[in-house]
Amino acid sequence: MHIDILTLFPEMFEGVLNTSIMKRAQDREAFSYQYVNFREFTVNKHNKVDDYPYGGGAGLVLTPQPVFDAVNHIKANVSNKPRVILMCPQGEPFSQEKAEELSEEEHLVFICGHYEGYDERIRKELVTDEISIGDYVLTGGELGAMVVMDSVVRLLPGVLGNEQSAPEDSFSNGLLEHPHYTRPADFRGEKVPEVLLSGNHAKIDEWRHYQSLRRTYERRPDLLTNRVLSEKEQKWINEWKNR
């Protein structure tokens, strides 16, 4: 996978992209990236990328010309058709399902805006996906792009040390992840559940499923709204309801 990042502040990405899993992914040639500072594509003498909104109002709006030219420059140098992602509070809420979808792509382009917003023609003509990481507003799209990139890149083949790690993550199967324990078996009087020490993998799997469903039921019941429950899952939920 290759990722192009349209940003006015490429230095913001350095720590994230050159540390931990993201660095490992590059070392294993799972993905590559490049920064595209769209200020370099401006045609006005002051290199401005923003202007006052028509109709008045507070703040400044990103002008279309430098963003259009930057994206077209990227497209002119590749044979595939990239997914162009606009980081935007108005976008589709980001999810594990979306991360899995994007991880199947060969080429992603992230547009990270600043100021009050984007000229609407950027949204209408260039963008294939609008993504929001939550119902709040950030200074710019860079932090959101980092979140999405990290979530996507870790799903690429060969990036995680254990290939089972990603499928067992929270939300990957529609449920929150089960509790985890490690050594010591007894820490300050709090003991690891006996089933995890039993070596009985069938019972361990059932315990994890039970705990995963219970945690979801207690913390994120909205995730169960459209889930087709098995007979066993429905039985467990009925037990919790009747307590």
Which residues touch 102 (CB under 8 Å, ≥6 apart)? Answer: 83, 85, 108, 129, 148, 152
Catalytic residue of the set 24, 89, 100, 215: 89
Clarify whether 193 is annotated catalytic. Answer: no
Catalytic residue of the set 169, 177, 208, 233: 169
Residue 199 marked as a ligand binder: no
Provide the 3-class DSSP secondary structure of residue 196.
Answer: helix
Catalytic residue of the set 69, 105, 116, 177: 116
Residue 224 marked as a ligand binder: no
Question: What is the rounded (10 degree) CA torsion for 53, 54, 57, 62?
Answer: -10
Q: Side-chain half-sphere of 117: how many Cα atoms within 13 Å?
A: 12
Answer whether 109's CB lies under 8 Å from 84's CB: yes
Clarify whether 221 is annotated catalytic. Answer: no
Residue 17 marked as a ligand binder: no
Going by C-alpha positions, the residue among 164, 151, 165, 150 that lies closest to residue 23 is 150
Clarify whether 10 is annotated catalytic. Answer: no
Residues in the chain: 243
Residue 113 marked as a ligand binder: yes
Clarify whether 243 is annotated catalytic. Answer: no
**Buried-state track 100-131, b at ≥16 Cβ within 10 A, e below 16:** bebbebebbbbbbbbbebbbeebbeebbebbb
Residue 135 marked as a ligand binder: yes
Annotated binding site for S-adenosyl-L-methionine: 113, 133-138
Question: Active-site residues: which are they?
Answer: 89, 116, 154, 169
Annotated binding site: 113, 133-138
